[in-house]
Amino acid sequence: MKIKNWSEEDRPREKLVSKGKAALSDAELVAILLGSGTVSLTAVDLAKTILQHVHYNLHELAKLSVHDLQKFKGIGQAKAITIVSALELGKRRKESKTPERIKITSSKHVFELMLPLLMDLPHEECWVLLLNKANYVISKKQMSRGGTDGTMVDPKLVFKLAVEELAHGVILIHNHPSGNLKPSEADRRITNKMKEYGQVTDIPLLDHLIVTNEDYLSFADEGLV
């Protein structure tokens, strides 16, 4: 029976979407790479044939060349290249270093993290740090870019991003090219607006930093958040 005639929950692609990648067998994952089987074999059956040849050992499978894989009936050059490429990516992932996770423990830490991005700019930029529950940085995003004396940021976009990335906290950062650390009325208004959105979404605004080349002001440290 062709895979398209299987129940939807048993088809490899649909199963991956509904149950997650860990629910699939090695044969089902290889079958997704193959895309199709032969007249007499489904993609899953063809994948099982290949895996049986290497005693179901993925390390041995990774040693097979494009030419080796093409010896299996139903495996052309395109399918062989797909399998080799996927296994090479897995090898490279294993060899690559996991990026260092950054934990925010103070406003100074935020300043040190963001200064390389904001120093010496002739214009204002507004960035956000999205943090997880343990205050590790999920991502940092530029939200707006303005002129020499101001930039606008839309809280709706900030918190839409925070919700999408499952953040537990938000830190707002913007620079003052003039070197003046005193918050403007616009700075205070956007801070209050961000606090309101944080209360609605249950993703609090943890801090708002104004950054210059030499120093910073933390709204949280000043009791303004």
Place of tokens 């199709």: 36
Structure confidence at residue 41 as a pLDDT band (50, 70, 90): very high
Mean pLDDT (the chain) is: 92
% of the chain beyond a pLDDT of 90: 84
Q: Tell me which residue has tokens 């044939």.
A: 49
How far CA 107 is from CA of 91, 101, 116, 150, 209, in Å, comes to 39, 17, 15, 22, 8
pLDDT band at 148 (very low <50, low <70, confident <90, very high): low
pLDDT at 108 over 80: yes
CA 184 to chain centroid, in Å, comes to: 34
Does the pTM surpass 0.85? The reply is: no
Region at 194 (left for phi over 0; alpha for psi -120 to 50; beta for the rest): alpha
Predicted confidence (pLDDT) at residue 98 exceeds the cutoff of 80: no
Percent of residues, the chain, with pLDDT higher than 70? 96
Q: Which residues contact 41 (CB under 8 A, 6 or more apart)?
A: 49, 74
Q: CB within 8 A of 15, min separation 6: which ones?
A: 9, 23, 24, 28
Domains of the chain, each with CATH number or no CATH: 3-95 (1.10.150), 107-218 (3.40.140.10)
pLDDT at residue number 101: 87
Distance between CA atoms of 175 and 184, rounded to whole angstroms? 12
**pLDDT computed for residue 1 by the predictor:** 63
Q: Which two three-digit tokens encode residue 121? A: 């700019």
Is residue 212 very low, low, confident or very high in pLDDT (cuts 50, 70, 90)?
very high
Length of the chain: 225
The answer to whether 85 and 34 have CB atoms below 8 angstroms apart is no
The DSSP secondary-structure symbol of 212 reads -
- Specify whether the CB–CB gap between 17 and 37 falls below 8 A: no
The DSSP output letter for 101 is P
Res 9: pLDDT: 79
pLDDT tens digits for 174-201? 999 999 999 999 999 999 999 999 999 9
